[in-house]
A and B are shown apart, each in its own frame.
Chain A
Amino acid sequence: MSDTHAQSVAYVRDTMLPEQAPPVTEAGVIKWMRENLFKGWFNSILTIVSLYFIYQIVTGAFPWFANGIWSTSSLAECREVLDGATGACFSVLTERWNQLLFGFKYPSEGYWRPTLAFVFLIVALAPALYPAAPRKMLFFTGLYPFIAFWLIWGGTILIPLMVLIGVIAGYFAFKRFERQSFAMGMLAGLLAAVVVIWAGGLIPSLLPGFLALEAVPSRDLGGFMLNMILGTVCVSLSLPIGILLALGRQSSMPIIKWICVIFIEFIRGVPLITLLFVANVVLAYFFPPDANIDLVLRVIIMITMFASAYIAEVIRGGLAALPRGQYEAADSLGLDYAQSMRLIILPQALKISIPGIVNVAVGLFKDTTLVSVISMFDLVGMIRGPILASTEWNGVYWELWGFAVFVFFIVCFSISKYSQWLERQLATDHR
């Protein structure tokens, strides 16, 4: 710059230009639209066509929602009120609200029970799902299955209480023998639990009225409550069973290995709906008619078997993805099989498997609607059967199915959002 002199250059500006706003097409919304919506003639046409369709859908659907009728008691009455105008008959939802949620046979004065069980479910899930929640709440999570059973099915509180005592006895027996070996501890725990439950089983029959809620037979469960029960119970049961199956499949003991392989391959090779038909129809031939095993229990067993086979395969994928060195490192520390699995292998394998497990869980939750085919009245069964077959509401479709879609979407979308959050929390790889 030393060569630059005022006399050798015509004009030198010695102050900075003031900052100017960028051209209007290169800033803010317009820039964004130019880059994302109208980049080139092809994109512009696509944008315009899409806008047209969105406009059509919104203007078409809006009056249907806005004119919705919420307070009539039958379809005919609703059409009368609408008087030819476009509008939804949402009154089917308000009139049959309890039936959609609880089924048509759950005693109406007991609706607070499943509702309370649902609130407790959220409380119980919090410490299991969010590391930030206080650890002491896990105590409640452990109690929850027993509370929920008592609330939903009713009967004396002694039955779940006895089972709970059995489980606690089993836990202490496990702790007592765990020092010697993990398998020994498991065996002792199982034995203690069975003995205590069997012995304690006599007490509820002596005091059937002790702190008893009105008993509700399983056949009377229905609506979205049934989907929630089946989904929660089956997912939470199939996770531990699936882990055991996955480990069993990798075992070096041939009998255990083959049992697991055959179970997994058989279940995965059969459609869920056939398993449900077996649960409903074929099993009935094996039991005397009065000693029927509860239909909901049969269905829970079948769906759990189905889900555990899938989860086992997902977890096997996680186990296979771990580098060999992890197994060898565990061995070189002198850990036995149970310790190395619990402390080193499974925590890593399960983390890898999270997306797969959530995928199975979401699929399973939606599959619970298949029970409507074996004449159980879950949400879909209620809609297909009793509500559409009633003289008042025969002919209402969009409102009911839209409601079912909405409810299932909320649950499944939150599960998948949660799993994405969990993956980010657990991300320890260095990307």
Chain B
Amino acid sequence: MKKLATLGVMTAAGLSAGAVSAATLDDVMARGQLNCGVTTGLVGFAAPNANGEWDGFDVGVCRAVAAAVLGDPTAVEFVPTTGKTRFTALASGEIDLLARNTTWTFSRDVDLGFEFVGINYYDGQGFMVPKELGVSSAKELDGATVCIQTGTTTELNLADYFRKNNLDYEPVPIETNSEAQPLYLEGACDVYTTDSSGLAATRAAFENPGDHVILPEIISKEPLGPLVRHGDNEWGDVARWTLNALIAAEELGVTSANIDELASGTNSPEINRLLGTEGTLGDMLGLDADWAVRAIKAGGNYGELFEKNIGENTPIGLARGLNAQWTDGGLLYAPPFR
């Protein structure tokens, strides 16, 4: 009898776990804390610093959402996930939002049942080779040994690219980026391939970064973005428009420095609508009027986050490239706040 009861409890628990997707926004508000899935550590994107506080570009998204919803950018429980555990953690309700440089693909969106709420970094797969190899194009890599992370989209892209160009290669499978660095430096592989942001970060940590070149070919599209569970559109909207608010803020010239001044009212209606001095956008989301003000204050607008964590003045030194505003020739294009 007792066993039966236990089974019953477990079934009920299982059912209720299946039903977590109902009202994430209410759950988060009731809990007073956002559970945000991040990587276990990727230079510039998410890593705890010496004081144990999480820091990075993806972390900035978590903090902005927490600030918008709860009014406190530190009310985040960061749940570190690996490439293998990230999707189950989100699907099981352990986390509310996954901001872990995840590539937006058809099957992840449709088949796995997730909702990508936008793109916070446009990446693409590239190659890095030692300068002394004298290679200047990926087309010359016939017969090369290639270090590649297993279980990622980069593995498939590489196979596709080499087959298309009729080239041979020998893969050297590795688990994480930090394993790839010594292998590549010891010469266990001629080429290292991963997302070009990762290549730049890796090269920046080398003793002699100048001895290595990143080849000009980008062989894949890797739009990285935060995602939530399917079926809870209200929560998806909150996450999507928080990200859009950060992007729009940069476009409109709203920074963490001048936001207090602008939030008291300007003569630009769009800024006023974004910052809640005009219209009822916050209401529609189920939040209060100055949700976006708090989100932008948390870590600055998109451009500020980028510069602080991965921009040209950091050791990683990424250029804006595709991640510039559409007005500057990039791909960032936030829909209008209206």
Complex contact A375–B80 (CB within 8 A): yes
Q: Which residues of B contact A375 (CB under 8 A)?
A: 40, 79-82, 85
Instruction: State in angstroms the CA–CA spacing of A390 and B92 once bound together.
Output: 29
Expressed in whole angstroms, the minimum distance between the Cβ of A80 and any Cβ of chain B is: 11
Complex contact A288–B17 (CB within 8 A): yes
A292 proximal to B (CB < 8 A) = yes
Known: A288-B13, A289-B92, A389-B42. A377 touches B80 (CB 8 A): yes
Flag B1-41 by CB within 8 Å of A: 1 or 0 each: 00000000010011011001000000100010000000111
Other-chain residue from A76, A281, A290, A377 in contact with B88 (beta carbon distance below 8 A): A281
Complex contact A389–B81 (CB within 8 A): no
Total interface residues in chain B, CB < 8 Å: 45
Complex contact B50–A95 (CB within 8 A): yes
Instruction: State in angstroms the CA–CA spacing of A377 and B40 once bound together.
Output: 9
Q: Which of A283-327 contact B (CB under 8 A)?
A: 284-292
Q: Which of A371-407 contact B (CB under 8 A)?
A: 373-375, 377, 381, 384-392, 394-395, 397
Instruction: State in angstroms the CA–CA spacing of A389 and B80 once bound together.
Output: 13
Complex contact A389–B41 (CB within 8 A): yes
When C-beta atoms are compared, the residue in chain A nearest to B314 turns out to be A391
Complex contact B43–A389 (CB within 8 A): yes
Q: Which residues of B contact A290 (CB under 8 A)?
A: 31
Expressed in whole angstroms, the minimum distance between the Cβ of B276 and any Cβ of chain A is: 31
Q: Which residues of B contact A287 (CB under 8 A)?
A: 13, 17
B248 proximal to A (CB < 8 A) = no
| Among B60-68, B113-121, B189-197, B199-207, the stretch in contact with A | B199-207
A75 proximal to B (CB < 8 A) = yes
A366 proximal to B (CB < 8 A) = no
Other-chain residue from A281, A384, A395 in contact with B205 (beta carbon distance below 8 A): A395
Q: Which of A235-286 contact B (CB under 8 A)?
A: 277, 280-282, 284-286
Q: Which residues of B contact A390 (CB under 8 A)?
A: 41, 43, 47-50
Expressed in whole angstroms, the minimum distance between the Cβ of A312 and any Cβ of chain B is: 24
Complex contact A373–B82 (CB within 8 A): yes
Q: Which residues of A contact B10 (CB under 8 A)?
A: 286
Instruction: State in angstroms the CA–CA spacing of A291 and B50 once bound together.
Output: 31
Q: Which residues of A contact B182 (CB under 8 A)?
A: 397
Expressed in whole angstroms, the minimum distance between the Cβ of B71 and any Cβ of chain A is: 21
Flag B315-335 by CB within 8 Å of A: 1 or 0 each: 110000000000000000000
A79 proximal to B (CB < 8 A) = yes
Q: Which residues of A contact B89 (CB under 8 A)?
A: 281, 284
B176 proximal to A (CB < 8 A) = yes
Q: Which residues of A contact B52 (CB under 8 A)?
A: 99, 104-105, 108
A96 proximal to B (CB < 8 A) = yes
Expressed in whole angstroms, the minimum distance between the Cβ of A404 and any Cβ of chain B is: 13
Complex contact B50–A385 (CB within 8 A): no
Q: Which residues of A contact B316 (CB under 8 A)?
A: 391
Q: Which residues of B contact A96 (CB under 8 A)?
A: 50
When C-beta atoms are compared, the residue in chain A nearest to B91 turns out to be A285
Instruction: State in angstroms the CA–CA spacing of A394 and B79 once bound together.
Output: 21
Other-chain residue from B14, B82, B201 in contact with A394 (beta carbon distance below 8 A): B201
Complex contact B43–A394 (CB within 8 A): yes
Q: Which of B253-281 contact A (CB under 8 A)?
A: none
B94 proximal to A (CB < 8 A) = yes
Expressed in whole angstroms, the minimum distance between the Cβ of B247 and any Cβ of chain A is: 24
9 closest A-B pairs (Cβ-Cβ)?
A389-B41, A395-B205, A385-B41, A385-B40, A289-B93, A104-B52, A284-B92, A394-B205, A389-B47
Interface residues of A (CB under 8 A from B): 75-76, 79, 95-96, 99, 104-105, 108, 219, 277, 280-282, 284-292, 373-375, 377, 381, 384-392, 394-395, 397
Interface residues of B (CB under 8 A from A): 10, 13-14, 16-17, 20, 27, 31, 39-44, 46-50, 52, 77, 79-82, 84-85, 88-89, 92-94, 176, 178, 181-182, 201-202, 204-207, 314-316
Show 7 A/B contacts (Cβ-Cβ < 8 Å), sorted by A.
A75-B205, A289-B94, A291-B13, A384-B40, A385-B80, A386-B41, A390-B48
